[in-house]
Amino acid sequence: MKFVSTRGSTPPTGLSAAIAAGLAPDGGLYVPQQLPALDIADFDGCDTLAQIATRLLQPFFAGDPLQGELAAICTEAFDFPAPLNALATPQDYVLELIHGPTAAFKDFGARFLAACLSRLQRAATRPLTIVVATSGDTGAAVAAAFHRQPGLRVAVLYPDGRVSPRQAHQLGCFGDNIHSYKVSGSFDDCQSLVKQALNDASLQKQVPLSSANSISLGRLLPQMSYYAAASLAHWRRHARVLNWVIPTGNLGNAFAAVLARAVGLPLGRIVLASNANDVLPQFFSGADYTPRASIATLANAMDVGAPSNFERLRWLYPDAAELRGAFVAASVDDAAISETIQRRYRDHGEVFCPHTATAVKLLEDLRRDGADGDWCVVATAHPAKFESIVEPLIGRAVEIPPALAGLLQRPARAQPLAPDYADFSAQLQQLQEIIFP
Ligand SMILES: *Cc1c(COP(=O)(O)O)cnc(C)c1O
């Protein structure tokens, strides 16, 4: 299998090279040259998430140097569960992607990417540095996944004072090959430093760099696996398709569901839940696609004004009318997020994070408007990560999952950094000289 760019001017590239590169050289996003066609029967005998992932991803790894390692990569990356549970309301389900090391769905993609890159690094003579700007969840998932991976190091940048205390702690608690920088500036300043470094050819002669943002194929492809596993489990049990409501920011998680359906898995409708950043709902209700600056909401990991994977959706549906017909998207504002968290706890004892609450609210609206069939919301983060929002709404403490509790007990430290590229570049060069055991 080869991968091409959504912008069409990159020669077909193997998977390993596409994963290592991140962005395609023409500035587009890598997509498969052709989509494999799988059948439900192809998964006979596959029961665990790792087995289903291995079967699903085989065609994408065909002919790649990592092909023979795929089963080991899946076993290593997917070593925590993704349970599909019933909600209190009839025929409603939740897929919990919150049981990984940093309690958010990004653990799946980050761990898979780390498992791939650590294998690709075995033959390398110099360490590879992953640079990542984060407003919270991505950086923590990447830090946890790459911690103590030989030949790899991470420089994670976050805006000082603008992530929650628990998120800041998670970013700074790893140490070893993970370097955390608190930048005296905004998330955009962090992202701008990272982009400058990734575009700095002379720096990269000394310091090989790569990225780990949500456009990486090494994160996107594995995210298909939990949709495959959940919809197969539901199909085997009930002989019905599951329909989905997915909390959406950069469209990485939702696009993985779209791909899983496109290769033949039994997913029904896919509905996109946005917060007050409503560029997708606007587009799907007929407006032009107009990216804009993001606004801050309670569901901060979805505060995106220019969803980076939208370009992949357009590639899959080149006709705009057809694209608009294929999805429903709606926006859920902060008041509705709070109301949903409060009410679902009061009426049903269910506790959701603000991101998951956008999907729960949308599903309630769909049911009210007569949607039938089996529907599943995706829980993207554990409510304990957003305790300062959730706890006042439900009037009690949220129990901290063991993995998160372990991280919070470690000491944390982050290095202050001015939003100055010369400083950052000097930091990366120093980091290159350090030898880790
Ligand atoms: C990243 C994130 C999202 C948004 O996912 P995308 O792939 O960017 O659409 C939603 N919820 C949580 C908790 C996240 O961390």
61 Cβ contact list (under 8 Å, min separation 6): 1, 15, 67, 70
Say what the pLDDT of residue 188 is. Answer: 82
Amino acid at 399: E
The Cα-based distances of 97 to 237, 287, 329 in angstroms read: 21, 32, 21
Closest by alpha carbon to 285, among 325, 319, 253, 316?
325
The atom of ligand 1 lying closest to the CA of 136 is: 15
Q: Is the Cβ atom of 381 under 6 angstroms away from ligand 1? A: yes
Please give the distance, rounded to the nearest whole angstrom, from the Cα atom of residue 201 to the centre of ligand 1.
31
Say what the pLDDT of residue 287 is. Answer: 95
Say what the pLDDT of residue 387 is. Answer: 93
Strands 92-96 and 209-211: unpaired
Q: Is the Cβ atom of 355 under 6 angstroms away from ligand 1? A: yes
The Cα-based distances of 399 to 60, 82, 380, 385, 389 in angstroms read: 39, 19, 17, 10, 14
Strands 92-96 and 84-86: antiparallel
Q: Is the Cβ atom of 252 under 6 angstroms away from ligand 1? A: yes
Quote the distance between the C-alpha of residue 15 and its chain's center.
Answer: 19
Radius of gyration of the chain (CA): 21
Q: Is the Cβ atom of 280 under 6 angstroms away from ligand 1? A: no
> Strand ranges (DSSP E) for 249-405?
267-274, 328-331, 374-379
pLDDT tens, the chain, 437 aa long: 999 999 998 999 999 999 988 889 898 999 999 999 999 999 999 999 999 999 999 999 999 999 999 999 999 999 999 999 999 999 999 999 999 999 999 999 999 999 999 999 998 999 999 999 997 789 999 999 999 999 999 999 999 988 888 889 999 999 999 999 999 998 888 988 998 998 899 999 999 999 898 889 999 999 999 999 999 999 999 999 999 999 999 999 999 999 999 999 999 999 999 999 999 999 999 999 999 988 989 999 999 888 999 999 999 999 999 999 999 999 999 999 999 999 999 999 999 999 999 999 999 999 999 999 999 999 999 999 999 999 999 999 999 999 999 999 999 999 999 999 999 999 999 988 887 75
CA atoms within 13 A on the CB side of 423: 12
Contact assessment for residue 353 and residue 386, using Cβ atoms and an 8 Å cutoff: yes
Please give the distance, rounded to the nearest whole angstrom, from the Cα atom of residue 249 to the centre of ligand 1.
6
Q: What is the pLDDT of residues 297-333, one digit of tens each?
A: 999 999 988 899 999 999 999 999 999 999 999 999 9
Q: Which residues are bridge partners to 209 per DSSP?
A: 129
Please give the distance, rounded to the nearest whole angstrom, from the Cα atom of residue 163 to the centre of ligand 1.
15
Mutate to test the pocket of ligand 1, among 355, 362, 390 (most ligand atoms within 8 A of CB): 355
Name all domains of the chain by residue range, CATH numbers in brackets. Answer: 84-104+218-398 (3.40.50.1100)
Contact assessment for residue 112 and residue 81, using Cβ atoms and an 8 Å cutoff: no
The atom of ligand 1 lying closest to the CA of 254 is: 9
The atom of ligand 1 lying closest to the CA of 355 is: 11
* Length of the chain (residues): 437
Please give the distance, rounded to the nearest whole angstrom, from the Cα atom of residue 434 to the centre of ligand 1.
33
Token digits of residue 319: 């006709």
Please give the distance, rounded to the nearest whole angstrom, from the Cα atom of residue 12 to the centre of ligand 1.
29
Which residue lies with its CA nearest to atom 1 of ligand 1?
301
Please give the distance, rounded to the nearest whole angstrom, from the Cα atom of residue 246 to the centre of ligand 1.
9
Please give the distance, rounded to the nearest whole angstrom, from the Cα atom of residue 214 to the centre of ligand 1.
9
Say what the pLDDT of residue 294 is. Answer: 87
Mutate to test the pocket of ligand 1, among 98, 99, 106 (most ligand atoms within 8 A of CB): 106
Please give the distance, rounded to the nearest whole angstrom, from the Cα atom of residue 149 to the centre of ligand 1.
25
Closest by alpha carbon to 178, among 422, 415, 383, 418?
415
Kindly compute the dihedral angle of the four CA atoms of residues 183, 414, 214, 340, in this order, to the nearest 10 degrees.
-90
Amino acid at 198: L
Q: Is the Cβ atom of 137 under 6 angstroms away from ligand 1? A: yes
Say what the pLDDT of residue 248 is. Answer: 97
106-120 vs 137-146: helix crossing angle, rounded to 10: 40
Which residue lies with its CA nearest to atom 4 of ligand 1?
249
Say what the pLDDT of residue 165 is. Answer: 85
CA 74, 75, 80, 81 torsion: positive or negative? positive
Say what the pLDDT of residue 437 is. Answer: 59
